[in-house]
Structure 1
C-alpha cells in the first residue's frame, strides 16, 4: 500500500456552505451602500462639485425626482434580494445535482464491484470496463481515486500460477489464461488513461496508483506520460515478462517508487525520459534478468535512487544519458552479474554517487563517457571482480575512483592512460 496517503481535496467537490438569509442580505446591502457611496463621492470629486445649491422651497420637479429616486432605491433593494435568493437557489440546485450524481455513481460502483468479484472471468472483464468508465465520469476526484484503487487492488490479489499445457490440467490452464486477460486489461487501461494530459477527459494523471507487490507479466504503456503529482508505487512488484514503457515520460514531481522491485524478465523502457523534479526510487531493487533501458535519458533535477540495488543479471543501459542536474545515487549498490552500461553518457552537473558500491562480477562500462564535472564519486567503492571499463572516457577522473581501484590497477579495471599520470588533466571530449 502507499504509505500514509492522505486524501487530497478535490477541486470539483461541491459542499453546500451557505450563510443564513438575514446575514447574507445584511452583508449584501452593506456592500451595495458602500459601493454606491463610493461611486457617488467619486463622481463628485471627478466633476469638481464645490457645493450644492440649496433652496428653501421644494418644487414639483424636485419632488418628482425624489419619488423616482425612492422607487429606484426600492427596485435596487428588490434586485439585491432577488440576486441573493437566486444565488442560493443555484447553489442548492448544484449541491442537489452533485448528491444525485454521487448516488448514481455509488449504485453503479456497487454493481461494478459485484461484477469484479464474480467467479466468471467474462463477468469480471465487464466489471473492469465498468469501473474504468466510472472513474472517467466520477463527479469528483475522490470517487475517481476509489475506482482506481479497486482496480489496483484486484491486481494485488494472489492468483494460481499457470499449470502448463498438460491435458490433465487443461481446464485450470484455460482459467489461468482467462484471468490473465482480466489482469492485462487492467494494466492496459491504467496506461491508456495515465498517458492522457492531466485535466482532460478520461485522464488519470495526478491520481495515485498502488501496484505494490503486483506481478506484472504483461504490457503496460506509460510512454509520454507526465508524473507531476500524486504517488505511483511499484514497491515490491515483480516484472517477469511483457513490455513496460516509460519512453519519453516526464518525471517532474510527485513520487514514483520501485522500492524492492524485481526485474527478472521482459523489458522496461525509459528511453528519452526526463527526470527534472520529484523522487524516483529503485532502492533495494534487484535486476536479475530482462532488459531495462535508460537510453538518452535526461537527469536534470530531483532525486533518482538506485541505492542498495543488486545488478545480478540481465542488462541495464544508460547509453547516451545526460546527468546535468539533480542527484542520482548508486550508493552501496552491488554489481555482481549481467551488464550495466553508461557508454557515451555525459556527466556534466548531477551529483552521481557510487559510494560504497561493490563491483564483484558482470560487466560495467563507461566507454566513451564524458566527465566534465567533479561531482561523480566512487568513495569507498570495492572492485573485486567482473569487468569495469572506462575505455575512451574523457574529462576529469571521477572523485576517489583511482583510490578505490588501487595501485596497481587490477586487470579487471580499464582506465584511460591519462588518468593514471601523476597529474591527470581534463581531456577534450
Structure 2
C-alpha cells in the first residue's frame, strides 16, 4: 500500500506488473498459432544463419582461390538443416505445452467434479486433489485452484446440519383441494469436516518456509461461513484478500501471529466464543470497518502495524464480555471513531508503544467540543490513567520497520533501524 493507504505501494505494483507481464507473454506464446510460431522460428533461424555466414566470411582468412560451389552448397544445406532443427524444436515445445495444458484441464476438472460429489469422502479427496493441482502449477492456474477452494467455502452452509449424516429431507406440505405435495431438500453430508479440511489445507500453504507457498495468491472469503477457523501464523500477502461480510462461528477463531497484508474484514461478524489476533502483524492498511465482535472474548494482545499504514475499526462493535488490546502497539494510525464498545471490559492497558494521536477515539481532546463524546466507563485504563502508559519492559521507540523472527514455535519481535540497518535485537520480555 502507498503511504496514504489508497492502494498497493510502488514496489508491490512493480512486482505485480512484472509478474503479470511474464504471465501474459507465456500465455501468448502458448496460444499463438503453430504456423505463426514456425514462421517466426524460420525467420529467426535464417537471420542467425545469415549473421553467422557474414561473421565467418569476415573472420576466416581470405585466400587466392575463390570458394568452391561444392563448399557453398554444403554450407547452404547445413543452414537448411539448422533451420529444420529449430522448427522441430518449436513444434516439440508447442506440443509439450499443449500436453501440459490438457493435463492441467483434465486434473482440474476431475478435482472440481470430486468437490461437487454428494459423498463426503469423495469431496475430501477432491480438496487434496485440487491442492495437488495447485502445487504443480504456477501463477494463473494456481490462482484458479485457490478460487475454487474459496468458492466452496462461500457456498450456503448451515452449522446445525454441518456435522450430521443427513443427506436428504422430505417434507409434506398441504396443497390445493386437500392434497399433499412432497418437498425434497438435499444436503451436503458432513460438510463441516470438508470445509475445515479446506481451511487446514489453505493454512498449511500459508506458512513460512513451506515448499509450495500460496501466500502471493488472492483469497476471496466474502460472505463465507467459517466454523472454528484457524489461520495461526498464516502469511497473507496477496492482493486483494478479503473476508468482507464473512461469519466466524464456533468455539474459536484464531489469527495468532498471522501476517495480514491489506486484508479487509469489512462488515465481518466474529461470533465464535473466542477470537484471537494476538501478535498479529498488519503490514499494510487493513480494515475492520463495521465488523461485529459478539463472542465472549476478543483479543488483539501484542498486535502491531508496520510501515505506518492505517488499521481502521471505524464503526466496529465490541459486544463481548472481554476485549483486550493490552501490549499492542499504537504507532501507525489506528481509527476507533464511531465504535460501539458495548458493556463488557475493553482494555488498552500497558501498550508496547503509544504514539500520541496514533489511536483516534470519539473522546479525543483535539476534536471539536460538539463532536466529542464521553469515554465509556468500561474502556480501561480508567480516566485518571488515560492515555495508557507504555509497558515498562517495552523496547525503546525506534525509527524503522518491524519484522518477524522465528525461533521454534514462538514469534518474537525485532526492529531494524533504517540508518545503518543494525542487526535486529530480541525484544526483552
Asked if 1:317 corresponds to 2:332, the answer is: no
1:295 corresponds, among 291, 298, 301, to 301
Q: Which deviates the most, 231-240 or 295-304? A: 295-304
Judge conservation of contact 2:41–2:90 (CA < 8 Å) in 1: no
1:23 corresponds, among 21, 39, 43, to 43
- Paired residue total: 346
Partners of 1:321 and 1:98 in 2: CA distance: 51
Shift in CA distance, 179/31, structure 1 to aligned 2, threshold 3 Å: same
Partners of 2:290 and 2:159 in 1: CA distance: 26
Asked if 1:256 corresponds to 2:263, the answer is: yes
CA offset at residue 213 of structure 1? 1.1
CA offset at residue 332 of structure 1? 1.9
CA offset at residue 264 of structure 1? 1.5
Partners of 1:216 and 1:281 in 2: CA distance: 19
2:384 corresponding residue in structure 1: 414
CA offset at residue 181 of structure 1? 0.9
2:223 corresponds, among 181, 202, 213, to 213
The TM-score with structure 1 as length reference comes to: 0.66
Please state whether the residue corresponding to 2:343 is helix, strand or coil. strand
Asked if 1:186 corresponds to 2:198, the answer is: yes
Judge conservation of contact 1:239–1:266 (CA < 8 Å) in 2: no
Q: Which deviates the most, 292-301 or 172-181? A: 172-181
1:100 corresponding residue in structure 2: 99
Gaps of 5+ in 1: 1-5, 41-60, 359-375, 392-412, 420-427
Deviations 1:209-228 (A, max 9, x none): 111111111232341x3333
Partners of 2:86 and 2:108 in 1: CA distance: 32
Shift in CA distance, 28/257, structure 1 to aligned 2, threshold 3 Å: same
CA offset at residue 258 of structure 1? 0.8
2:141 corresponding residue in structure 1: 143
Asked if 1:338 corresponds to 2:329, the answer is: no
1:231 corresponding residue in structure 2: 240
1:45 corresponding residue in structure 2: none
Partners of 1:214 and 1:260 in 2: CA distance: 12
1:386 corresponding residue in structure 2: 377
Judge conservation of contact 1:330–1:352 (CA < 8 Å) in 2: no
Partners of 1:382 and 1:313 in 2: CA distance: 22
Shift in CA distance, 31/346, structure 1 to aligned 2, threshold 3 Å: farther
Partners of 1:125 and 1:91 in 2: CA distance: 40
The TM-score with structure 2 as length reference comes to: 0.66
Gaps of 5+ in 2: 1-16, 170-186, 390-395, 398-429
1:245 corresponding residue in structure 2: 254
Please state whether the residue corresponding to 2:117 is helix, strand or coil. coil
CA offset at residue 262 of structure 1? 0.7
Shift in CA distance, 22/119, structure 1 to aligned 2, threshold 3 Å: closer
Q: Kindly report which structure 2 residues correspond to 1:40-119, keeping only aligned pairs within 5 A, or say none.
A: 62-63=63-64, 86-119=85-118
Judge conservation of contact 2:42–2:86 (CA < 8 Å) in 1: no
Deviations 1:354-377 (A, max 9, x none): 25479xxxxxxxxxxxxxxxxx96
CA offset at residue 283 of structure 1? 0.8
Deviations 1:232-265 (A, max 9, x none): 21111111124443333334x4x31111001122
Judge conservation of contact 1:263–1:290 (CA < 8 Å) in 2: no
Shift in CA distance, 322/112, structure 1 to aligned 2, threshold 3 Å: same
Shift in CA distance, 152/163, structure 1 to aligned 2, threshold 3 Å: closer
Give the RMSD, CA atoms, in angstroms: 4.3
CA offset at residue 319 of structure 1? 1.9
Judge conservation of contact 1:292–1:317 (CA < 8 Å) in 2: yes
Please state whether the residue corresponding to 2:295 is helix, strand or coil. strand
Partners of 2:235 and 2:153 in 1: CA distance: 23
Partners of 1:67 and 1:10 in 2: CA distance: 46
Partners of 1:229 and 1:309 in 2: CA distance: 25
Judge conservation of contact 1:196–1:202 (CA < 8 Å) in 2: no
Judge conservation of contact 1:219–1:242 (CA < 8 Å) in 2: no
Please state whether the residue corresponding to 1:211 is helix, strand or coil. coil
Partners of 2:238 and 2:55 in 1: CA distance: 42
Shift in CA distance, 228/74, structure 1 to aligned 2, threshold 3 Å: farther
